[in-house]
Structure formats: structure tokens, C-alpha cells
Structure 1
């Protein structure tokens, strides 16, 4: 794990096909939903999923088929086998197609040595490898478990186990502390939004989602698509969203830097940009509850021509409850999990964190609403440094953090976003 080009080559393909996430969602998911207006008895604007057949009573559902409400039909064995198979295939590919190939020529002795006699280290791989590609691999482990019917916490455990197995047996280099943390927590906090968005895309397709929705869901969460394809009826039950209020925004444009000094010659001063935001479970919808991790989450992705993924930010409510104040304010508060990858061309910062905070919406008038999130907590992450530290141009450590995000919605005419970290 101390050879930069190794990981860049190994995971390079994932950059090319992860980008359709934003496009698929914006084309196939309904537009914008807001919580109920004050004094209104009408349901929120958020469109309901297409009508589907009601969930049969448990006695009528074959035990071998997944039922999300009763959890019958879930499998602890299948995702374990899938994760091990994925790791074997990844190692096989790397030892034949990734230089230096000798790094991946591992065996049982490698695993045992790392387990009993190796010191865990902070590795020297590239920032994008450690802070994006490892968490994205974590979403694969997580998705195998989640789409097999396991809950959030069980899937997080499988993600940790998958990362642990790779660190011990996937490479000859010493196991990495930062990879284990980023893959486990970044992968889970990133993987759950992907799983939820893929499931929502399928849910809006009714009882029998069409080909394009199945394909879109597979692009968003490949393990979900894999399990639905390979195991057929076993895992074809769509995860129930409980019809959350949602917000979707997609923007495209260009960037132009008017002045730059003392920066690398590789910095591009103009280019294209695509920006995607998705909020799930906005507070205030009657009957919607927050009993499951990530029943509320916010997902944001920015892609640019100069730097591929410039930022990926997710935050979701792990444990919490709803509240209200008067007739105009509704919200949720509790413990949040977040994953942030922010890498414009001139600085880089990334972390996986736990925070206490709240998300709320206040109606300032019948047409004007203020939405906001305030968080404070700590995590483990990496940040770019002005001067090189050892073999890396970034460093690791604990990172206390705070966030305030505000969105002012002026009816259907305008919207103003402001975020401070």
C-alpha cells in the first residue's frame, strides 16, 4: 500500500462508471418534494411511488424470499461469500495486471503474518486512493450485505470485515489503519445513500420495475443490481422507503479562475462542472418516522472536467427523533454519520465523522421556507498540507468539525443555498 501507482491503476475503472449516479437519478427520480405547508391539510408535493401490491402477510411469504418488514429471507451467508469472492477476484486481477505485480502475490502465510506479526501503519498512497477509492470499495462490501436483507449496523460490520480481510491478505504491504477506517465508516456512510437511492428508483417503478430502472439502480448500487439479477425472486423485494419527502437538484455549468498564483502548472483555470444534490426524508411530512438509520440523509456530488470528482458529501441521521415548534417548524435531531471528500485542485480534505445536531424546516410565510442543518462532532480524516510530510503531501488525524447549512426557498421562483464548515 506504499506504492501510489498500484492503487491508482487498480481502482481506475471505478471512476469511469460511478458518474452516471447523478444522471440516472435526475432523469428517473421525481423532482422536488417539500414538507407540508403550515395550516395545509394537503399532502406534501413529494410524489408517491407508483402503486404496488401490498406486502403479503408473513404467513403467505415464502421464507426463502426476502421480506423487508419481517426480515424473513435475509441471508448472512450470501454476502459473506460474495465479499470473499470479490476480494479473490480483485487480488487475481491485480497480481496479473497491476504493477508491481509482486505486491499482490499473497498466500496463507501472508495472511497469518499480517494477523500475528505485522504492525498496522498509516500508508503513503495517493489522497484519492485512500479517501475516495477505498470508501467506494467499502460501498461494494456494504451493498452486498444490505441488498441481502441485512440492516445498517449488520452491513457496517460486513464492510469492516471485508476491509480487514483485504488488509491482511490482499497485499504483501503492511495493513493500513487509515484504509480500515475510511473503508468501514466512509464506505457505510456512502453506501447507505447509494442503496437508498437505488431502491427509491426501483420503488417508483411499481411492483415490476422496468429494464431502465433496473439498469439505473445497478449503476447507482452495483451490489444491489447484482443480487437482484443473480438471485431472482430471492432478493427482488424493494426496500420500502415509507414515502419520504425528497429534494432533487441537478446543475451543469462551467468554471473560470480569473487569478491564480504559486500553484502547480497542472491546475486548470476553466472547465465544465456538474452538480447533483439529493435530500431524503425532509422533516415535516405527516406519518413519516425516523426509526431506521439514514431515514434522513443529504447527498451531494460535484464532478468537474479538470479533476473528475471534486466533492462527495453525505450525512445521515443514525439515531434520533423528530420534533416540532408551533405550527411552522418541524425537525429531527440526534446522532449523524457523515463522509466528506473535498478535492478541488488546490487543496484536499476528507473525513468520516460522527456528529450531534439537527435538521429542520421553518415556514416564514405560506410561500417562503427556511431549511437548515447544524452539526458539531469529530472524525478521522486527511487534509492536504502546504509542505510535504514524509512521503505524503497530506496528513491524517482526528478532526473536530462543525457545519451549518441553510437553504432559503422562495416559492417556485428562487432558492438560495449557504453552507459553512
Structure 2
């Protein structure tokens, strides 16, 4: 229920973490000491985030849920946690983003990754019990905490790539502005501390590209979204895709959480489809080498996953929602293989991941209460990603992601008629949902930095209901664009 103020809608193809080139840059200047910890300031900022959002909701939006009192707080604590009925983007994207603000209040005050996790939990717990009149939501607590850690650490690391205290003038201004947009709490703390305009001639850079190489690619073009798997019934809209590969998974000298991660975000530029149609994040929590011989390497580790697919019914088509699924809180083992090149095949990588989904969401064909038309639950996912590089000619990828989400806590039909929807306390329609996404992608080099980018995604959904008819559906998307590698 938190982040009512942040109702963003989000769509994107399967995870494409292998698609980025490695870019190395000169070693950063001797780094100044930026590790001074301010735990109490961080805690005050977490409280301040909630106070600011609550005041905005209460006085600017005049929202009923923000009209709190000691009575509503006592009522929330007495009622306990329920499953709420906010819309898909609010529960499974906006809440994790909100959690990232709590997390980065700690990160930008000197705390490390693990030390920052309790701040995401504490901020969410405070919001759910104190800052709304509606009953606290267990799904919000999980999504805000676990998803917030993932979004928070990635945005914090990305801001490291932007900030450079050796710059001044307009270049410094634009870096500070962009860094604040990417990681708001860090930008705010830099302004308060004066770091935003302090010029350092040594130790100005925040990221060591030799130690943690970075690859960035931006592609733009048009996407065709089929209506209910129809070849000639669908809609075409422009898209922008941003992909980032951070760190080297085979480098044994760096093994802190998120020293290796990938991020892939697709923005849909259409009034009919979600602005953010897909987010795929993968962060390495820990890893160790398991094999290295004759040019082949294998790395085993544990990874945090955040995946989000969203779409709306095709314009002038049927009323069917093409696909919608999320794993907002997921962790599991994975193994990454790198094979030696042979002939024109200069690089070959294979990645296999399995994760337990603590909280996810999946499209429902029957449940429609307040703003929710999807089920929530837990389950597992399995992902297989293959990347082949053919020197200067280009790359080919084939990814297959399988998601299974089980909805354990259902409802009876009479419950909908006799229960206040705020207190229905159901995950949705009891049953299970499975979504398979198969995503081939071909990049043909036009120059060293520019390539033709052609990809497709095929979605196969099978939802089994305990008290309703089962539903199977499938559809596809095709994308054609140009990718620029930086």
C-alpha cells in the first residue's frame, strides 16, 4: 500500500545480460575516505522519507488513507497484516523503488550492503503500521524490503559511474543532476554535506573501471505486440532499451554483493502500453570458481533476481492482457560457464539460474478487486541464457525463462459480497500460474559501436485454478532497432 504516490506502469523482453560489451577506462584517482558511517542520520532520513510522503499524500492529494491518527495506528497493529489490492505496478515496482530510497539513505551515509538492509525493512514496517489508515500489507513489506535492496544497490552503483568530483562548471552540474535522478537519497546527501560542489583534484572518481569493468548499450526502434498470438492483429509502438553489465563474474578478487550485476530496462513510448514494460535485474551476492582449465571457466554463486513484465490489451484488439508477471523478491543459485572460442565463434557463454520466489505476481483471469487484477504468491523460476559472439560480425543470444507462482491463500465467492475489500486478505484466485518466455536476439555489427538489433519474445502462459476453469494463452513480440554501445 505504500508508494500510492508512485504509480508507474512498466514491459520488456527476457533478460539479456550477456548482450553488452566490456568497456575499460583508466584507473580512478587515489580515492578519498568516503566510508564514514552515520547510522543515526540514516535512520532519521528514513523517518523523513515517510513523513514527507505522508504529508504530500495528506495535504497535496487529500488522500483518505493518509488521514492517520493514534486510533488508526492502534487499529493497524491490532488487525495485523493482510494482502492488499493495489495495482500491479504499485505493488511490484513502486514499492521496491520506495524501498530503494530507504536502503540508499543508509548506503549514502556510509553503511555497506548488509548494514543497509535493515533500513529498508524498518522504513517499510513504519509505513505499513503508522503512515496509512488501511491495514498493513504483508506483500508490501516483502516487496519493499527485498526488492528495494536490489533496486537500491543497483542505483547506488550506477550513481558511482556518474559522479566525478574532479569536474566543475556545467559538466559538474549535469553529473550531479543525473546522479540525483538515478539515486535521489545520495544526491540529497551530497547537497546537504556540500559534496555536490566540492572539487577534488585527486580522488575525484567514484568507480574503478579496471577493477569493475562496465558495458552500456542503448537501443531504440519499434516493437510489434501481437494480440492473442495473431500474426496480423496487434499494435506497433516505439521503444527504448537500456542494458548495463557491471563487473566481471569470473574475477575472484571482487566478491562483495553486487560487484557483478546486470540490468536491462525497456521503456515503451506508447500511450496505450505501460511506460516501463519490462525490468530485468540480476545481482551476484556471492560466488566462487568451480572450474578453470584449457580456456574454460565456470563460476558458481548465489544471485538476487528482480524481473517484471507488464502489458495492456492491444489497441483495437481483444480485451486480453498479453502477459503480466513479476518476481519482486527472489534469490537462488546459478552457474556461469565461459567456453574457449573456436574459429569464427570468438566467445561462448552459458548461464543457468534457479531461484526461489518469496513474492511474485501473475495475471489473473477472474480476480478483480479494487485495483488488482492479478494474483500474488510464491514459487520458483529457472533461466537458461546462451550468448555466442562472432568477432566483428555480431552476437546471437537465446534466453529461456520459466516462472511458476503459486497462490496459496484464496477466497470464496461469498467473501467478495460480504467482506470489506480492504480486509479480504486474499492472495487472489487459489491455484498456480506458469509463464515461459523464449527470447532469441541477433545483433549485427554496422560499426565498432553501432549494430542492428533484432529480437523476438514468445510468451506461453498456463494458469490452473482451484475453483475456476483453467486458462492457457500465448502471444509474441518482435523488436527491430539500432543499438549503440558506449
Calculate the TM-score normalised by the size of structure 1.
0.79
Task: Tell me which protein shows more helix as a share of its residues.
Answer: 1
The answer to which of 351-360 and 253-262 deviates more is 253-262
Are the equivalent residues in 2 in contact too, given 1:290–1:320 (CA < 8 A)?
no
SS in structure 2 of the partner of residue 175 of structure 1? coil
Return closer, same or farther for 1:78/1:307 CA change in 2, 3 Å cut-off: same
Return closer, same or farther for 1:327/1:248 CA change in 2, 3 Å cut-off: farther
Deviations 1:286-330 (A, max 9, x none): xx6233101111111011022100111111111222354214233
Are the equivalent residues in 1 in contact too, given 2:20–2:243 (CA < 8 A)?
no
Deviations 1:384-416 (A, max 9, x none): 122226553211111211111222122232111
SS in structure 2 of the partner of residue 269 of structure 1? strand
Report the equivalent of 2:61. 98
Return closer, same or farther for 1:325/1:90 CA change in 2, 3 Å cut-off: same
User: Following the alignment from structure 2 to structure 1, what is the Cα–Cα distance between the partners of residues 109 and 244?
Assistant: 25
Which of 110, 122, 125 is residue 161 of structure 1 equivalent to?
122
Structure 1, gaps ≥5 residues long: 19-30, 35-45, 57-66
Report the equivalent of 1:408. 388
User: Following the alignment from structure 1 to structure 2, what is the Cα–Cα distance between the partners of residues 171 and 221?
Assistant: 25
Shift in Å, 1:108:
3.4
Are the equivalent residues in 2 in contact too, given 1:141–1:159 (CA < 8 A)?
yes
Report the equivalent of 2:280. 313
Which of 172, 182, 186 is residue 210 of structure 1 equivalent to?
172
User: Following the alignment from structure 1 to structure 2, what is the Cα–Cα distance between the partners of residues 150 and 312?
Assistant: 26
Deviations 1:248-284 (A, max 9, x none): 221101122455479xxxx971211111111111234
User: Following the alignment from structure 1 to structure 2, what is the Cα–Cα distance between the partners of residues 235 and 195?
Assistant: 19
User: Following the alignment from structure 2 to structure 1, what is the Cα–Cα distance between the partners of residues 196 and 187?
Assistant: 13
Are the equivalent residues in 1 in contact too, given 2:80–2:135 (CA < 8 A)?
yes
Return closer, same or farther for 1:186/1:259 CA change in 2, 3 Å cut-off: closer
User: Following the alignment from structure 1 to structure 2, what is the Cα–Cα distance between the partners of residues 220 and 363?
Assistant: 37
Return closer, same or farther for 1:318/1:235 CA change in 2, 3 Å cut-off: farther
Which of 303, 308, 314 is residue 336 of structure 1 equivalent to?
303
Higher RCO (CA 8 Å, separation ≥ 6 residues): 2
Report the equivalent of 1:114. 76
Task: Tell me which protein shows more strand as a share of its residues.
Answer: 2
CA RMSD of aligned residues (A): 2.9
**Structure 2 residue 41 is the aligned partner of structure 1 residue 82:** no
Return closer, same or farther for 1:238/1:138 CA change in 2, 3 Å cut-off: farther
SS in structure 2 of the partner of residue 408 of structure 1? strand
Structure 2, gaps ≥5 residues long: 11-18, 199-203, 313-321, 402-486
Return closer, same or farther for 1:284/1:335 CA change in 2, 3 Å cut-off: closer
Which of 232, 235, 254 is residue 194 of structure 2 equivalent to?
232
Report the equivalent of 1:353. 330
User: Following the alignment from structure 2 to structure 1, what is the Cα–Cα distance between the partners of residues 166 and 385?
Assistant: 34
Report the equivalent of 1:297. 261
User: Following the alignment from structure 1 to structure 2, what is the Cα–Cα distance between the partners of residues 347 and 98?
Assistant: 32
Are the equivalent residues in 1 in contact too, given 2:179–2:187 (CA < 8 A)?
yes
SS in structure 2 of the partner of residue 364 of structure 1? coil
Which of 198, 210, 215 is residue 247 of structure 1 equivalent to?
215
Deviations 1:355-394 (A, max 9, x none): 1012343232376112332111211211112222655321
Which of 88, 91, 102 is residue 130 of structure 1 equivalent to?
91
Return closer, same or farther for 1:7/1:296 CA change in 2, 3 Å cut-off: closer
Return closer, same or farther for 1:138/1:409 CA change in 2, 3 Å cut-off: same
Report the equivalent of 1:26. none
Residues matched between the structures, number: 368
Shift in Å, 1:87:
0.6
Calculate the TM-score normalised by the size of structure 2.
0.69
User: Following the alignment from structure 1 to structure 2, what is the Cα–Cα distance between the partners of residues 334 and 11?
Assistant: 34
Are the equivalent residues in 2 in contact too, given 1:51–1:206 (CA < 8 A)?
no
Which of 151, 161, 169 is residue 200 of structure 1 equivalent to?
161
Report the equivalent of 2:349. 371
SS in structure 2 of the partner of residue 139 of structure 1? helix
